[in-house]
């Protein structure tokens, strides 16, 4: 299959978040960027699907600036065949989705995989918007993906209070949840090969963003912890009941 994997780059999960003095953006000093964990799963799943069927090619796409190229190279080292960067600084999910949709319509993909959400802006929106732009089916939050009969895929997805197994015909957009697979670590051969794999930079099609951040803030700090001894469980329960009013 020809599979497209949408990659976002996000601050490493251990990053202590702070904002610039005008609170307009993230304070990037010392921040390490990684492939969004769900996108890494999407990439690994794409490799597994093509290994199982014995063919096809995998493209990774990122909408953003040149600072994301190390992350794209890493994806090539893990096993993607080619990378595409759409050169703009997106401000919201709709802008990202519109750019990717434009790229997809100029190519021929059977399947687009994205993460369930990015762990920076946590929208969980790009996959669904992309599916609508393309008028393709969407399966959100997939925990397993397997090839079915006659060009269909069998997918399990998380839903409120349970899980659903469903069949979807290609082409489709599927967003990936953990449990799908385990991420792969690039080996030396992959890292060498990545240097010569194509990384294409495309001009944006130019849709602007709808949503603009006014300001960022840190969550309100919490009051100091009130401690109870092991023999004071009635007092703790009383505090939860009377003071916090949560019991």
User: Which residues of the chain form contacts with ligand FAD (CB under 6 A)?
Assistant: 6-8, 13, 25, 36-39, 61-65, 89-93, 96, 114-115, 117-118, 120-127, 213
56 Cβ contact list (under 8 Å, min separation 6)? 1, 2, 3, 49, 50, 110
Residue 184 binding: pick among ligand FAD, another protein, none (C-beta 5-8 Å cut-off by kind): none
- Closer Cβ to ligand FAD, 117 or 142, answer by number: 117
Q: Which of 121, 119, 70 is nearest to 92 (CA)?
A: 121
Shortest Å, Cβ 90 to ligand FAD: 5
CA 117 to chain centre: 5
200 Cβ contact list (under 8 Å, min separation 6)? 82, 83, 84, 85
Binding mask 211-230 for another protein (x = CB under 8 A): xxxxxxxxx--xx-xxxxxx
- Contacts to another protein from residues 118-177, by CB under 8 A: 119-129, 131-133, 136-141, 143, 154, 158-169, 172
Shortest Å, Cβ 102 to ligand FAD: 13
**Quick one: 219 exposed, middle or buried, by C-beta within 10 A (0-12, 13-18, 19+)?**
exposed
Q: Which residue has the tokens 């349970």?
A: 162
- Closer Cβ to another protein, 80 or 134, answer by number: 134
């Amino acid at each position: 299959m020809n599979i497209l994997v949408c990659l976002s780059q996000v601050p490493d999960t251990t990053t202590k978040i702070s904002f610039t003095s005008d609170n307009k953006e993230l304070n990037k000093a010392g921040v390490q960027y990684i492939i969004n964990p769900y996108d890494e799963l999407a990439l690994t799943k794409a490799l597994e699907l093509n290994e199982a069927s014995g063919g096809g090619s995998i493209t990774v796409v990122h909408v953003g600036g040149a600072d994301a190229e190390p992350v794209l190279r890493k994806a090539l080292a893990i096993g993607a065949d080619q990378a595409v960067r759409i050169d703009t600084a997106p401000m919201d999910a709709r802008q990202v989705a519109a750019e990717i949709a434009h790229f997809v319509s100029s190519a021929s993909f059977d399947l687009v995989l994205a993460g369930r959400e990015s762990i920076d802006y946590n929208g969980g929106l790009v996959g669904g918007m992309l599916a609508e732009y393309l008028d393709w089916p969407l399966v959100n939050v997939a925990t397993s993906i397997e090839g079915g009969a006659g060009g269909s895929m069998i997918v399990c997805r998380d839903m409120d209070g349970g899980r659903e197994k469903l069949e979807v015909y290609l082409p489709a957009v599927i967003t990936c949840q953990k449990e799908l697979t385990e991420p792969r670590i690039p080996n030396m051969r992959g890292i060498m090969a990545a240097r010569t794999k194509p990384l294409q930079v495309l001009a944006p099609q130019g849709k602007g963003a709808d949503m603009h951040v006014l300001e960022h803030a840190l969550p309100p700090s919490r009051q100091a912890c009130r401690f109870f001894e092991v023999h004071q469980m009635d007092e703790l329960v009383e505090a939860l009941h009377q003071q916090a009013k949560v019991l």
